[in-house]
Structure 1
Amino acid sequence: MINLLTEQKAWETRQIDKRVVAMIRQRYSLNDEQLLSRILHGAALGTYQMSDQEQAEVQAYQDHAEACRAVGRLAKANNQLLIGVLAYEQAQRDVARLTLLINGRDYVPAVPEVPEERDPETGQVTQEYQPPVPAVEAVEPLPPTVDQHDENGTLQTVDNPEYLAALDALNTAQAVIENVEPEVLTWVEQRSAV
Structure 2
Amino acid sequence: MIKEKGILFILSGPSGVGKGTVRKKLFEEETDLQYSISMTTRDRRPGEVDGVDYFYKTKEEFEQLIKDGQLLEYAQYVNNYYGTPRNYVEETLENGQDVFLEIEVQGALQVKENFPEGVFIFLFPPSLDELKNRIVSRGTESQELVLNRLKEARNEIEMMDAYDYVVVNDKVQHAVDKVKTIIKSEHLKRERIAKQYKKILEDELS
**What's the TM-score, normalizing by structure 2?**
0.23
Query: Highest Rg: 1 or 2?
Result: 1
Which protein is richer in helix relative to its size? 1
Higher relative contact order (CA 8 A, sep 6+): 2
Which protein is richer in strand relative to its size? 2
**What's the TM-score, normalizing by structure 1?**
0.24
